[in-house]
Structures are given as C-alpha cells and as structure tokens.
Structure 1
Amino acid sequence: MKLSEALNEIDRIRHIGEFSAAVLKHDRQLRMVDHATFLQKTATDFQLRFVACFEEDIRVGKSLGYATTCDAVSRQAGGQAGIQACERIAACVSRLDKALIKKVGLRALSLFASSFGRYSRVAECRSATIRIAECCHDESRALQELNSQSLGLLVNGFSKWPEETASRQAAIAVAGEVLRRLGRYPRFSEFTPRGLANLVNGFSKWPKEAVSRKAIFAIAGEVLRRGDQLSLFNQQDWRSW
C-alpha cells in the first residue's frame, strides 16, 4: 500500500480503536522513508484529533487504542511529532486519579510505561511512569492477569527511573509475579528470549533488592535449561546480561 493511501485511510477514521488498528497495520507494511513520514504525520493527527478526548475515552474503556498508538508513534521513526504526542499523553496519564488509572488497565499501562521510558529526560514521561508504578504497586494482584510481554514492558519502563521509590516498589512486585509463575508454569516456557533479557536488564537496576536478585538467578537457570535453544537469543538479547 502506498503512503498516500495509508494516510487517506487514517484521515477517514473517527474512533480511536479503529485509528490504532490502522496505525499498527501500516506501521508493519510501510518501510524506510514512507514509514517515518507515516508515523510522524500520524503522531500529529493523533494529537490534534484524539488526545483531547483521552479521559472521556478512558471512562468508556478505550484506553488500549491510545496505548498502542502512543507505542507506535513514540519510536524513533516518529520523530519530534512522536515525542510531542508521547509527552502530551504522558501529561494526561500523570493527572489521572486512582479510579481512572485503574480503568486504563494494566495491559495498556504497560505499553504506556514502555513508551514513556524512551524519553527519560521528559518530565511528563517521568511523572506518568511514576503514576503507573504506584498503580502497579497498589494493584499488584492484577499483575497475574498480564502476559509475559506486558510484565517485561512494565519493568523496562520503571527501570528508566530506578532511583524513584515507586519504580522500585513496582519492579519488586513484578519480580514477585515472575517468581510466582516459576512455580505455576512448566518453567518459564511462556517467556521469549527477548522477554527474559528485558526482565534481567530491568531487575538489574535494583541489585540490592533480594527479590530482584532471586528473579535474575531464576531466569539465569532457565537460560541454562534452554541450552539447546541458545541460538534463539540474538546479540541484542545477550547484551542485556
């Protein structure tokens, strides 16, 4: 599909769920210059048409559309427009009260945390991630509902501000959930090599925490157990160890 066709499709959409689905579709299909242009124009469109409706849409259960769009446009190819969109959404998230941030849901919050973590020097991203960390700590039982990828995204986001008490407490909660799954599942079979590497990289930011060390040791044991699958770990994964 050509860039013009992708942008025309995006322009016709009026609902955030459909918008995010189209963004993800074209994010996969477009390449090189067209890909960057698409994400940057999409980021601008996202800000102009949807960000102002964020809280209203959260109240009716449409948080995932915002989270997936933010995750896409905040990547490097999204350029300055993507950073600005991420910053504006972060400002919205940081202002949510306890009831509203719970309505966002931990799956969407994990995507937000990962997106905001890309810009650790942006005050709004820091404040929003701390707000997410506080929610995860308060609602730690709900971590059981997340898949391994979402757990890794949360830890990745929190690890960008390891000095914050909320980040540390939330990461400890995630580490506890990872250890709990060790006893529930056949080892760490649900975790991909990249997922394991992300968890180790995140937990390593809190080396003085016993549960972080225990989780890292458990993951190391899983890597050894997968000895015949080590080729699945790419160079980037190994750099996390």
Structure 2
Amino acid sequence: MLPSASSLLAIVSTLMVLTQAVKFDLPAALSDRTDTTQRCLSQFVAKDTQVLITVNTGEGYNQRIDLEVSQDGPVPNVYTRKRDLQHSFANAFDTISEGLVTMCFTNTLDEGFVESSLYSRWVEVDMNIGAEAMDYKLLAKSEKLDPLELELRKLEKVVQEIVEEMNYLKTREALMRDTNESTNERVKWFSIGSILTLVCLGFWQIAYLRHYFRRKRLID
C-alpha cells in the first residue's frame, strides 16, 4: 500500500534535512603503514543510480591524500582512483550494480618524516545519490524553469525515487516470503522423513531383539 501525499512530503522533508557532509581528521602514516590509518565510508546504492561525490581537504605539509571509490557485488567495480587530492574534488558516475559504494581515504606521509599526531589533514565528504546528484542549475538553464518549477521538479524526482525504493522493497519482501515458504516446505518433509525413519528403525530393533531372544531361548 502506497503512502499518502502528505506522508511522502514528510519523508522528503526528513531526507533533505538529514543530508549533510561528513567531516573528519585523517592522520598521516608512512607508505608501508597506510592501511592501518585508512578511513572508509560506505552507502548502499541501487543499480543504475547516479552518484555525485564531493571531497574537500585541508592543508597538510608533506602529506598526500588518495581516494578510491568502489562498489562490492558479484564483480567488484572501481569507479574512481584519485591520487593526491588538493582542496576540492568532485566526481559523478552511474552505478553498474547494486551494493555498497565505499570511499576509502589514505593519508601518506612523505619519506624522511617521522610519524606524529601533528601530521593530519581534515577531509569533508558529501555523497549525493539519485535526485540529490542531479545538476539542477543546468536543468533550470536548459528548460528555462523558474525557482518554483525547479523546486517542484526536485520534489517530483525525490518522490519518484521513494516510490521506486518502496516497489523494490516490496519485490524483495515477496522473494523473501517465497524463500521462507520453500524452506518451511523442505523442513516439513525432512521432519516427516526423519519421523518415518525413526519409526521404521524402532520396529526393526524390536523385531531383531525378539528374534535374538528366541534364538537364545530367553522367550517363547
């Protein structure tokens, strides 16, 4: 059952409020120890969805920040590899499959320097997915939309994505229900088979013991 228009607007408003960048300090390490200080952020993204990643970095003497954006799945995909991020970087791509899109940052300290807590750079990451990743300025310019029409187009796109997500969840729920019903059916027949096997084994034991005792003349 689809929600009402007021419910959809409430969800849209909540999503727009919760959308914000993530900022953190990334300590520097020598090249042979960068894996120990690697910082990764992940977000589940559906297939054929536009993603826009914007990264801002602070100043850092003798430090190099590298970025890799990948997605897990049957065949892992690497969308971006950026070496030595400077100040700001933006990258947009469309996902090839569904799964976790992971952004991993490493801060490498130049050779000849000693690791210290003083060596770190701040990183600010903003990940926009679907409707949030669209270039609405370009859309407004190309279609000559006024501000109100542009806001309505934004809401239309977000509501459309919410409905698609609900349909996707409905499909997953149906698949899960079918899997549960199939599993229950298999467990039922396995239980029946186990009971019949135990009953047959019990009758065979009784018949064997009766034959054994008669042979030993313990019973008539």
| TM-score, with structure 2 as normaliser | 0.25
Higher relative contact order (CA 8 A, sep 6+): 2
Q: Which has the higher strand share?
A: 2
| TM-score, with structure 1 as normaliser | 0.23
Q: Which has the higher helix share?
A: 1
